[in-house]
Chains A and B, each alone.
Chain A
């Protein structure tokens, strides 16, 4: 399977009468976008705004972030199985408005959080302070059942990204990246001496506000499934997750999954990238055991020498992570885990809710309990009342001048467990 990603570098964004890119400036037809979204009769009102890097703007509560794209060659247009009919994605050519993002905002429940600060201290912690963001704030019609409400906002974000992505259709990209991986036997014949490495990607799949979709299929209903990495890079995986702001995988992060990109970079050099297994995280212990056994079986069938496992969320998914690790190591498959830590404000507590002696290679993507101080914003996009939710966890979190303290937990993508974020390690 061969996928070309043509990146059109976006350097600024503005509203206009039509949607197009010229000299790196993305112009968005605001009225056209709103009219297109309102074709969904469940949507009562839409506010569309722009947030640029450096502006004293706070976006809250963020639901999802999506990269605007368009398919220019081959099948798999849009988000297959969701905004368009199901066709095979992961091949052909896709143009990306690189540096732009659609950010959906909207209260579905009162305790939602998820903040993006475009400037200052907050901007340091979220990767989406560096993107030129079109914010889409959705109000739905009254009386909508909560699952339908969530679906409406989720689909609106995807449709907005598709609408804006069309601007890249006729534009010559600034760079073209090629991702090509043949069948497993083919690649192994090419690189017989390199270790076969699989990527196991865990997804939150536990019900309302805690879901992930693959080709539109709710991943709660699947057994662990083998995927070609190109499919995820080409819109097959969608986030329906509105909790765990710091470590949920937004749709944007699925589209740009750092683990996949890094494994691709080492393919044929240090390792043989054998594929991706998508693994649902259940709430029941029997579900967790079933998934762990099934994943290890697939890894064995595919002849993996090594596996990299990334988690999504914190708490009960820690059990899945360590069960999978233990069973893989027992099967003599070397295993590396990627997870964030919930290690208390001083970083000294036990980082996960579970432990296993077999977890000997663990990459930490940051401490979600780390406290950050965010100055007041000049402009808030979304619901200013959500700021109280954000800071409402303990006394003294909001100072007189409006400065507030919150944990990284509330900042979108701050401790991304697939490594698409700003935190890194430094040697002293």
Chain B
């Protein structure tokens, strides 16, 4: 398997069951799993953070992880570590928005699918 989705979003599990590593927990736990994988030489395919604060308050997050590259990528380590720090900093003073679970699941899925589409183009270009 070339890439894997680390997620706590049930909607993503339903649709991509064969490519999912399900985390039965919080967004923070998803990010920590992603960090561990990056430290174990897996590539970081999609950015761990969303593009706005509002989506940062989402209870769901899906991140795409690549194959084991055989090397640790320092840029990717920095990105994932910074993302966790930033996430925790915000959530120290906020609460996860649980009122809109279904909408957050749907948005997380559509943003993930944008990334998957982009990756397909890239994988075709790079020949694997």
Of the candidates A315, A344, A369, the one having the most CB atoms from chain B within 10 angstroms of its own CB is A315
Closest beta carbon of chain A to B34's beta carbon, Å: 12
Closest residue of chain B to A320 (Cβ to Cβ) is B47
Query: A349 in the interface, Cβ–Cβ < 8 Å?
Result: yes
A245 near B50: Cβ-Cβ < 8 Å? no
Nearest CB of chain B from residue A218's CB, rounded to whole Å: 10
Cβ-defined contact, B111 with A283, below 8 A: yes
What's the Cα separation between A288 and B122 when bound, in Å? 12
Question: Given A284-B45, A285-B47, A393-B95, are A111 and B79 also a contact pair (CB < 8 Å)?
Answer: no
Q: Are B93 and A284 in contact, with the CB atoms below 8 A?
A: no
Tell me if A244 and B45 are in contact (CB < 8 A). no
In the assembly, what is the distance between CA of A285 and CA of B66, in Å? 11
Closest A residue by C-beta to B103 = A109
Q: A146-B106, A284-B47 are in contact. Are A314 and B52 (CB under 8 A)?
A: yes
**A54 interface residue, CB < 8 Å from B?**
no
Q: Does A394 contact B (CB under 8 A)?
A: yes
Q: How far is the CB of A399 from chain B (nearest CB, A)?
A: 18
CB distance from B40 to the nearest CB of A (A): 17
0/1 string, A107-140, CB within 8 A of B gives 1: 0011111000000000000000000000000000
**Contact of A110 (CB < 8 Å), options: B47, B52, B76, B100:** B100
CB within 8 Å of A: which B25-45 residues: 44-45
Query: How long is the Cα–Cα vector from A256 to B13 in the complex, in angstroms?
Result: 43
**Known contacts A109-B103, A354-B82; is-contact A349 B113 (Cβ 8 Å):** no
B interface majority secondary structure: helix
- Which of A207, A316, A344, A393 is close to B47, meaning CB atoms less than 8 Å apart? A316
Whether A285 pairs with B56 at a CB distance below 8 angstroms is no
Give the contacting residue for B114; candidates A111, A220, A317, A369; CB below 8 A. Answer: A220
B51 x A111 contact (CB < 8 A) = no
Closest Cβ of chain B: how far from A302's Cβ, in Å? 25
User: Is A286 touching B52 in the complex (CB atoms < 8 A)?
Assistant: no
Q: Which residue of B lies closest to A385 (CB)?
A: B99
B24 within 8 A of A: no
The dominant DSSP class at the A interface is: loop
Looking at chain A, what size class is its interface with the partner chain?
A: 35 or more
Task: Collect the chain A residues with CB atoms within 8 Å of residue B118's CB.
Answer: 282-284, 286-287
Chain B nearest CB: distance from A110 CB in Å? 4
Q: Which residues of A contact B56 (CB under 8 A)?
A: 315
B12 at the interface (CB under 8 A from A): no
Which B residue sits closest to A395, measured CB to CB? B95
In the bound complex, do residue B51 and residue A315 qualify as a contact, i.e. CB atoms below 8 Å apart? yes
A344 x B89 contact (CB < 8 A)? yes
Q: A220-B114, A316-B47, A392-B97 are in contact. Are A113 and B106 (CB under 8 A)?
A: no
CB distance from A254 to the nearest CB of B (A): 17
Contact A111 B103 (CB under 8 A): yes
Contact of A394 with B47 at beta-carbon distance under 8 Å, contacts A208-B110, A220-B114, A409-B54 already known: no
Q: Are B51 and A243 in contact (CB under 8 A)?
A: yes
**Interface residue from B54, B89, B99, B122 paired with A286 (Cβ < 8 Å):** B122
A38 interface hit (Cβ, 8 Å): no
Across the interface, name the chain B residue whose C-beta is closest to A207.
B114
- Across the interface, do A109 and B115 meet the contact criterion of CB distance under 8 Å? no
A206 CB → nearest B CB, Å? 6
Report chain A residues within 8 Å CB of B44: 285
Offer 27 A-B interface pairs, CB within 8 angstroms, sorted by A: A111-B99, A111-B104, A204-B52, A207-B113, A243-B51, A243-B52, A243-B54, A283-B115, A284-B47, A285-B46, A288-B47, A314-B51, A314-B53, A315-B47, A315-B52, A315-B53, A315-B86, A316-B48, A319-B79, A344-B93, A354-B78, A389-B97, A392-B95, A393-B94, A393-B95, A394-B94, A407-B53
Among all A-B residue pairs, the 7 with the closest Cβ atoms: A244-B52, A316-B47, A207-B114, A110-B100, A315-B49, A109-B103, A313-B51
